[in-house]
Amino acid sequence: MSWDPVYRLIKKIPRGRVTTYGDLARKLRLRGGARAVGYAMAACPSGKGIPWHRVVGAGGRLLIPEPHGSLQRRLLETEGVQVDHTRIDMQRYGWTATAKRKTGTKRTIRRQR
């Protein structure tokens, strides 16, 4: 299985925002859920511009162990995300991917009589 759809969606997360492993899994309808996204993140290639640091655990928890955990914290803080020990306020910094409406699809419009 290729993790490219996961990486493409992660690239869409704007600076200063975060999303959870579970949200990504739901959006992509991945079998294995958040754990599958975790596997994708563990295999994340470096140098491809994938903002891995913007993906956090449920409830805004930073789950990556040291030494990468402190790197994740620093990267998020440089983007303006406030990290309280190992938590992020998801109400303030959370991002959810929205479904795009396909262009060119025909819609039937009923006229009122």
**Element spanning 83, H or E:** strand 83-84
- Position 62 scores a pLDDT of 95
pLDDT tens series, the chain, 113 aa: 689 999 999 999 999 999 999 999 999 999 999 999 999 999 998 889 999 999 999 999 999 888 888 999 999 999 999 999 889 999 999 998 875 555 555 555 555 55
Residue type, 77: E
Range of the domain at 61: 4-93
Whether 103 maps to a domain, the answer reads: no
- Position 108 scores a pLDDT of 52
**What tokens were used for 37?**
């996204």
Whether 8 maps to a domain, the answer reads: yes
Whether 113 maps to a domain, the answer reads: no
Whether 66 maps to a domain, the answer reads: yes
What Cα–Cα distance (Å) separates residue 47 from each residue in 18, 44, 51, 91, 98? 20, 10, 10, 30, 27
Whether 100 maps to a domain, the answer reads: no
Whether 107 maps to a domain, the answer reads: no
pTM summary value: 0.82
Number of domains in the chain: 1
Whether 47 maps to a domain, the answer reads: yes
Whether 31 maps to a domain, the answer reads: yes
CATH code at 42?
A: 1.10.10.10
